[in-house]
Amino acid sequence: MKRHLISAADLTRDDAVLILDTAEEMARVADRPIKKLPTLRGRTVVNLFFEDSTRTRISFEAAAKRLSADVINFSAKGSSVSKGESLKDTALTLEAMGADAVVIRHHDSGAPHRLATSGWIGGSVVNAGDGTHEHPTQALLDAFTMRRRLVGADAGLGQDLDGRRITIVGDILHSRVARSNVHLLHTLGAEVTLVAPPTLVPIGVEQWPCEVSYDLDAVVAKSDAVMMLRVQRERMNAAFFPTEREYARRYGLDGDRMSRMPEHAIVMHPGPMNRGMEITAEVADSPRCTAVEQVTNGVSIRMAVLYLLLGGNEPALTAGNGTSTRTEESK
């Protein structure tokens, strides 16, 4: 593993599988009465959030706390940042306070990259979503969810997603989730198809390792997983599509379309969902929809990432607790 996690594109197939396998171990902690490991005791993790995102922040916070790290939550709102302090000065402050890892969410694409490469801080940087660029832990938790559902939790250990057909539907242009997923799923051997109106597909997408379709009906029947992206309603005002109704009709997932998916196929959504827009309530509440499971899995993935970046060479689960499946060689 590298020192930072900035982009899903930075992960090799082995890196990614290691994270997924480690997350399986971490998931078992959640089943215990005391959901905590001593692994990162004495380490400080800062959640540096320049953009509101309660669910991602809480997920990282829970992950760090389950590993016994000290957690500092830093929100730009109401902080020195709102008084004009720069990212650099904020970073220097965190460095002075001895942050071992900084989990950063930022409205500007590239801000985590800048933080990691500028020399402002010495600790690890984890990208928790930057602008319309990337959200690598979201892609990892999505892949984790797919592997569990499509391959099986135990059977999936050491496995990738070779040959699985994944369809990502919606606002690709503005989606950091889509970008990270395309990179990661390709690395894991999956075949990815993006589906969106042409206005929401970025120029240059032909260079991405995926297919592009404007016709959802043409691809649902051959998808192992259909990932619906949240569509922001203001996109309509910017003329990306004519009306919500037309969008829902052409690119929304309803019961009829879901019924044409293979029996084993799942429906995914990073949340929060616009019910009635990109996904109907019938689909969102069906057992095939993994949206809630993805939230649970997010904590396991973030535990794995923080552990692998900060935990050194010790096994994720301490010897003697009977749950560690990893050997020294597997690291």
What residues are designated binding site?
55-56, 83, 105, 135, 138, 176, 230, 271-272
First CA to last CA distance, the chain: 9
- Closest approach, Cβ 74 to another protein, in A, equals 16
- Closest approach, Cβ 40 to another protein, in A, equals 27
**203 is a site residue for another protein (CB under 8 A):** yes
Helix (H, G, I), strand (E, B) or coil at 152: coil
Specify the length of the chain in residues.
331
**134 is a site residue for another protein (CB under 8 A):** yes
Residue number with CB closer to another protein (117 or 330): 117
C-alpha atoms less than 13 angstroms from C-alpha of 180 in its C-beta half-sphere: 29
Residue count, binding to another protein (CB under 8 A): 27
Single residue of 43, 66, 105, 133 touching another protein by CB under 8 A: 133
Residues 214-243 that bind another protein (CB under 8 A): none
Residue number with CB closer to another protein (50 or 144): 50
Residue number with CB closer to another protein (20 or 87): 87
**208 is a site residue for another protein (CB under 8 A):** yes
The binding site for L-aspartate consists of 83, 176, 230
Residue number with CB closer to another protein (239 or 319): 239
Q: Cβ(16)–Cβ(183) under 8 Å?
A: no
Residue number with CB closer to another protein (80 or 330): 80
The binding site for carbamoyl phosphate consists of 55-56, 105, 135, 138, 271-272
* Token pair belonging to 200: 């929401």
- Ranges of beta strands (E only) in 131-184 are 165-169
Residues 36-65 that bind another protein (CB under 8 A): none
Give the burial string for 291-311 (b: 16+ CB within 10 Å, else e): bebbbebbbbbbbbbbbbbbb
> CA-CA distance, 184 to 309, in Å (whole number)?
18
* Token pair belonging to 101: 């890892």
Q: Cβ(64)–Cβ(40) under 8 Å?
A: yes
Binding mask 103-122 for another protein (x = CB under 8 A): ---xxxxxx-xxx-xx----
Binding window for another protein (CB under 8 A); candidates: 61-69, 127-135, 139-147, 162-170: 127-135
Q: Cβ(5)–Cβ(148) under 8 Å?
A: no
User: Which residue, 278, 181, 180, is CA-closest to 231?
Assistant: 278
175 φ/ψ angles, rounded to the nearest 5 degrees: -100, 115
Q: Cβ(107)–Cβ(50) under 8 Å?
A: yes
Instruction: For the sheet with 124-130, list strands across it.
Output: 70-75, 44-49, 101-106, 124-130
Residue number with CB closer to another protein (202 or 270): 202
- Closest approach, Cβ 37 to another protein, in A, equals 34
Helix or strand run (H / E) with residue 135: none
**130 is a site residue for another protein (CB under 8 A):** yes
**204 is a site residue for another protein (CB under 8 A):** yes
- Closest approach, Cβ 81 to another protein, in A, equals 11
**179 is a site residue for another protein (CB under 8 A):** yes
Binding positions for another protein, rule: CB under 8 A: 86-88, 106-111, 113-115, 117-118, 130-134, 176, 179, 202-205, 207-208
